[in-house]
A = this chain, B = another copy of it.
Amino acid sequence: MPNPEKTETVRDKGQEARPLDAFDRKILGELAVDAGLSYAELGNRAGLSAPAVHERVKRLRATGRIRGTVAVLDGPATGKPFLAFVHVDSTGWGKTQELLALSELPEVEEIHSVAGDTCMLLKVRCASSRALEGLLARLYALPSVKATRSYVVLSTFLERTPQAGITEALEGE
The chain A residues found within 8 Å of chain B, CB to CB, are 13-15, 20, 28, 31-36, 63-81, 83, 85, 87, 96, 99-100, 103, 105-116, 118, 121, 125-128, 130-135, 137-138, 149-167, 169-173
Residue of B nearest to A76 (CB): B14
Q: Supply 8 A–B pairs (Cβ within 8 Å), ascending by A.
A: A34-B70, A35-B69, A69-B71, A80-B166, A107-B165, A107-B166, A111-B156, A137-B173
Oligomeric state, in copies: 2
> Are B164 and A78 interface neighbours, CB within 8 A?
yes
Q: A77-B14, A131-B170, A164-B73 are in contact. Are A96 and B66 (CB under 8 A)?
A: no
Looking at A80, A87, A167, which has the most chain B CB atoms within 10 Å of its CB? A167
Contact residues in B for A83 (Cβ distance below 8 Å): 112
Q: How far is the CA of A171 from the CA of B36 in the complex (A)?
A: 36
Given known A-B contacts A73-B32, A130-B171, A134-B170, A149 and B116 have beta carbons under 8 A apart: yes
Do residues B166 and A127 form an inter-chain contact, with CB atoms below 8 A?
yes
Q: Which residue of B lies closest to A114 (CB)?
A: B151
Given A20-B78, A35-B35, A166-B79, answer yes or no on A72-B161 (Cβ-Cβ < 8 Å): yes
